[in-house]
Amino acid sequence: MPVILLLALVNFRAHRPGDAETVVSQLQFLGDSLHEGSGERMQSSFPEGYVFTWALYGLASAQVARQLPQNDPRWAELLDRVRDAVDHVDSPIARSTFPKELDPPYGAFYCAWSLYLRAEYMRAAGADELTPTFVQKFEEDCTEFAHVLRRSQTPFLPSYPAAAWPVDTCVAIAALSIRDRILGPKYESVIKRWVADARSRLDPRFNALSHAADARTGAPHAVDNVAKRPRVQRGAAQKGADSLCRSLEPDFD
């Protein structure tokens, strides 16, 4: 599955002639590939492969839809693709990798990408296009995630037992921020507290979110305990984390 192409699609800007048609065609190809099992193949490559690939596909479709007028027939087609991605992420096969007993259930990675994908669908569709059932479930999941954050001693919730990656929780915070812009302010205090707590736990070597953190305290993990060597920042992951953090706070660092 060409994940790099998906990442490129997320940065789509429909201001040059032919761009929209080209990208929609690529999304058609990628959607067909997913329905033929590329999500499952990605799952065999890394534990989060199925969820991550479907989520990126949905996010790319939402990004393209936002660049088109609602009377463009491709807009509705793209929203259908996002809903398809939402349904695949909200499925037993998607959740099967992640431990249900975590707090939040299924862990920060799964919850965060599920929330973020749905938030971007809402932003692309607009409030008038959302069903009450969709909004209710999204609201319930946002509330649950916010409750877990409020009672947590660390801003970085675990994605697996005793394992936390700061960017995972950052994705969920971005989803709460989008939610507030669409449905009205509700999580301002949660977002502000998270930004402050995350800033207090930046990796001092890079003045940025660490790749991994202590699941109990949120302190940056400077050493890879398996490889027994200093951790380094992951380029693509770090760029994504920086972008999300600055969407919450322009001068985040």
Q: Are residues 123 and 235 in the same domain?
A: yes
Render pLDDT for 202-231 as a digit per residue (tens, 0 to 9).
999 888 888 899 999 999 986 554 444 445
Report the pLDDT averaged over residues 236-240: 57
Q: How confident is the model at residue 65 (pLDDT cuts 50, 70, 90)?
A: very high
Render pLDDT for 5-18 as a digit per residue (tens, 0 to 9).
444 444 544 444 45
Q: Are residues 68 and 162 in the same domain?
A: no
pLDDT at 188 over 60: yes
pTM above 0.85, yes or no: yes
Q: Are residues 103 and 207 in the same domain?
A: yes
Q: Are residues 30 and 127 in the same domain?
A: no
- pLDDT the model gives residue 138: 98
d(CA 233, CA 210): 7
Domain boundary among 73, 97, 121: 97
Render pLDDT for 66-108 as a digit per residue (tens, 0 to 9).
999 999 999 999 999 999 999 999 999 999 999 999 999 999 9
- pLDDT the model gives residue 127: 87
- Domain coverage including residue 201: 99-253
pLDDT at 24 over 60: yes
pLDDT at 190 over 50: yes
Distance of CA 163 to the CA centre of its chain: 18
- pLDDT the model gives residue 185: 97
Helix, strand, coil percentages (3-state) for the chain, rounded to 5, are 65, 5, 30
Question: How many domains does the chain fold into?
Answer: 2
Domain boundary among 97, 129, 145: 97
Q: Are residues 75 and 186 in the same domain?
A: no
Q: Are residues 26 and 121 in the same domain?
A: no
Nearest Cα residue to 112 out of 178, 35, 161 = 178
Q: Are residues 80 and 10 in the same domain?
A: yes
Q: Are residues 76 and 199 in the same domain?
A: no
Residue 39 Cα distances to 34, 67, 116, 158, 215, angstroms: 5, 26, 19, 24, 28
Domain boundary among 45, 71, 97: 97
Q: Are residues 149 and 170 in the same domain?
A: yes
Q: Are residues 74 and 104 in the same domain?
A: no
Task: Kindly state the percentage of the chain with pLDDT values over 70.
Answer: 80
135 phi and psi angles, rounded to 5 deg = -65, -40
- pLDDT the model gives residue 123: 96
Report the pLDDT averaged over residues 38-63: 92
Q: Are residues 214 and 89 in the same domain?
A: no
- pLDDT the model gives residue 2: 43
What is the CA angle 50-234-51, rounded to 5? 10
Q: Are residues 143 and 84 in the same domain?
A: no
Burial of 46 (0-12, 13-18, 19+ CB in 10 A): exposed
Tokens of 146: 């916010």
Q: Could you tell me if 121 and 62 are in contact, meaning their C-beta atoms sit under 8 angstroms apart?
A: yes
Q: How confident is the model at residue 56 (pLDDT cuts 50, 70, 90)?
A: very high
216 phi and psi angles, rounded to 5 deg = -95, -40
pLDDT at 239 over 80: no
